[in-house]
Chain A
Amino acid sequence: MAKVEFETPKMREYPVIPIIHADAMAHSQPFVASSQHQESLGFPGQLVDNWKEVAIDKMGELLTKYRSLKVYLDSCVKCGACTDKCHYFQGTTDPKNMPVARQDLFRKVYRRHFTFAGKYFPRLVGAEDLTEQVLGDWYKYFHQCSQCRRCSVFCPYGIDTAEISMAAREIMDTIGKGQKYCNEIIGKVHKIGNNLGLPEPALADTLQGLEEDIKDDTGFDVRLPLDVKGADVLLVTPSADFFAEPHIDGLIGYAKVFHQAGISWTLSSYASEAANFGMFIGSYDQMKKIAERVRTAALELGVKRIIVGECGHAWRVAYSFWNTLAGPFDFLDPRYPSPQHIIEFTSDLIDSGGITLDKEANDNRIVTFHDSCNVARASRMGNLPGGQFELPRKVIKAACNHFVDMPADTIREKTYCCGGGGGLLTDDLLELRVKGALPRMEALKHVVDNNGVNNVAAICAICKSQYSKVLPYYGFPRDMIVSVHQLVSNAIVLGDKQ
């Protein structure tokens, strides 16, 4: 791969809306999927000859299947309220990264082919045919959207650019121009069961190694069971938890919580992945197939509950879509929400006294929390709206004495993406990822400078990997990022209950 030279954006004292620079990111695009990766998902291997017609046909089909798409394309008034809300715009200053401009890449083709004004007065309403140039823009700029939904919060009609990016990616897959990173990974899930392509023996090995590590560390026999029939709980977690830092410390944390609560649990080698990249490529079909693995595993293992580990988009798919895609989950114990988030589980145990946390174990840390987009704006935890903000903070505060929030317009529903979500966590998009992290890094710097924050905790595998990668570009130490259950892991008191 040709190494792209780029400058890390300067962190601004007071974030201001940048001046636009046309085509500032026109060189950025991810690798195109090979024919093998395309075909294994049932997409054409390369750009089909009549791609224009196929694309327009697909667009027409999606317009009848998704109300969101239809309504969003019609309703935008170009008020401009969203223009400064995207982290990729702030970090790159490329005008096509303004949410409405990104939508317009799609909307202009929609108008040309599906609206009266666009058919007869294209110039007037900015309608355009789907030319090679336009397709090129689609490929570039719909892969500069992390589907974080921040724009949707601020639009007076809730227009969600993520929905449009998903539709565009689905159309591109259908004409044979898919993205390598996502499609390759989805292929691995279908074949092996997880994004990494980690087969059962390797997984079993890893887990055993972890058990030994915990034993050395704590002296306790904390188990990480795999494929145990009849366990109460099936834990479905992102496969990054099995090997990446700081994810793995989170996994150890879950294991300790289960151990201490005395609840039997298991991982599944068949459904060894919570992530569901089917969402990123906008494919209902792929998303459903991946989700069904979890259902199958739960039935085969005969579990009573399903709990999902720390992962942002995975929690969106699990919370918002699983029941619809692969439900009903009526074979599970109705006393518990299904699925349940590991944070909800731990939070309940803190309340009931099922586990005890010693906050002093984390006294060397001043912690802030990164709200992951998909958890914040596309899901919930607990019974009350906004529980997705409160419960993780509650768990952190139960495990740490020192907690500080980042500035108010960068957290909760207004949280800024880490810069690597939505299927962009690949090295061929490194420049985009570094630049897109700018607003988050500025917010982090604020609490580092003012409050001495030295750790940022997250509940998303993608966020954690992205932070590890981009923190150094902004002069922060790589290991500043921690898992929330890593904090729990440090603080949890193992052994007999007092």
Chain B
Amino acid sequence: MSGLTMFFALLMYGAALVFTVGVGWRVFIYARTPAPLKIPTTPAPTTRTGVWIRMAREVVLFESLFKSNKWIWLFGYLFHASLLLVLIRHLRYFTEPVWGWVALAQTFGTYAGFAMLAGLFALWLRRIVVQRIRYISNLSDHLMLWLLMAIALTGLMMRFVAHTDIIGLKMFALGLLRLDIQPVPADPLVLAHLALVAGLMLVFPISKLLHAPGLFFSPSRNQVDNPREKRHLAPWAAKLESK
């Protein structure tokens, strides 16, 4: 096994580990932290089912964002929907034989790459052009968009500019899954793409990408509006009771 392969295998394993443990830990902390008072933004659903529907609308449609700002919604939705398609498309590198529905998504997946890039670029333009958003942006907010754009760009280049050894890449990916390391194709584009993706996984648990799990734990969105019917006592608040 070459040093290069060794390095990349370790990088991918390490990144996947940090990602899983990091996000898992974060989710654990969110779940552990009590929400001592009922604070759903009303009107809010009065049943659990209603809350699931509200949440689904937020995740699938970005409903609140739509109410808020049509441009951010458009670009943001374009980016996220494309990201989802691209991720689905990538499943073919990790499945053998490729699942039927993944194969179906291949054509969309290709265009989604461009759409994702366009969405990200538009979001970044907003960040520099709109005075208010420039004001609230930190360097990390720009870097995050660049990182994602770089991932999309290297990916698209492999497909449309300098064809790469896809079979070799798939062997490498499957090898990682099967704990039977195969050589990584020594193509600079492949290596850059992989390294950037590893970078994304590494920063995920320590960055604003936590919005993805965060949304599900947001009390203003995930609480049932039933405070008159049910008490909602957090453990630390219950201790004040006995006094």
User: Which residues of A come within 8 Å of B, CB atoms?
Assistant: 17, 19-20, 63-68, 70-72, 74-85, 95, 98, 100-101, 104, 115-117, 121, 123-126, 149, 152-160, 163, 284-285, 288, 319-321, 323-324, 327-328, 337-339, 376-380, 383, 385-386, 388-389, 413
Contact = CB atoms under 8 A, between A and B. Distances in A.
A380 B214 CA distance: 26
Nearest to B207: A117
Nearest to B30: A71
Interface in B37-80: 37-39, 41-46, 58, 62, 64-65, 67-69, 72, 76
B62 A385 contact: no
Interface of B: 26, 29-30, 33-39, 41-46, 58, 62, 64-65, 67-69, 72, 76, 126, 130-133, 135-141, 143, 206-208, 210-211, 214-215, 217-221, 225, 227-228, 230-234, 236-237, 240
A115 B42 CA distance: 31
B68 A160 contact: no
4 A-B pairs with least C-beta separation: A75-B214, A158-B220, A385-B43, A154-B68
A156 B37 contact: no
B136 A104 contact: yes
Given A66-B36, A67-B34, A68-B219, A319 B228 contact: yes
A78 B43 contact: no
Nearest to A338: B228
A81 B126 CA distance: 11
10 contacts: A80-B126, A117-B206, A121-B140, A125-B138, A156-B58, A156-B64, A156-B76, A160-B39, A284-B240, A323-B232
B227 to A, nearest CB: 5
A20 B135 contact: yes
Contacts of B206: 115-117
Contacts of B36: 65-66, 284, 324
A419 B96 CA distance: 62
A65 B234 CA distance: 9
A366 B138 CA distance: 49
B225 A324 contact: no
Given A78-B208, A80-B132, A324-B37, A85 B68 contact: yes
A163 B39 contact: yes
Contacts of A328: 231
Contact of B233 (A104, A152, A324): A324
Contacts of B39: 68, 160, 163, 320, 378
Interface-centre pick from B44, B139, B227, B236 (highest chain A CB count, 10 A): B227
A195 to B, nearest CB: 22
A337 to B, nearest CB: 5
A75 B236 CA distance: 24
B46 A155 contact: no
A31 B99 CA distance: 67
A74 B214 contact: yes
Given A66-B33, A376-B42, A155 B64 contact: yes
A294 B165 CA distance: 74
Contacts of A160: 39, 41, 220
Contacts of A339: 228
Contacts of A337: 228
Interface-centre pick from B26, B220, B230 (highest chain A CB count, 10 A): B220
Given A67-B217, A104-B136, A388-B43, A324 B26 contact: no
A72 B138 CA distance: 17
A429 B240 CA distance: 35
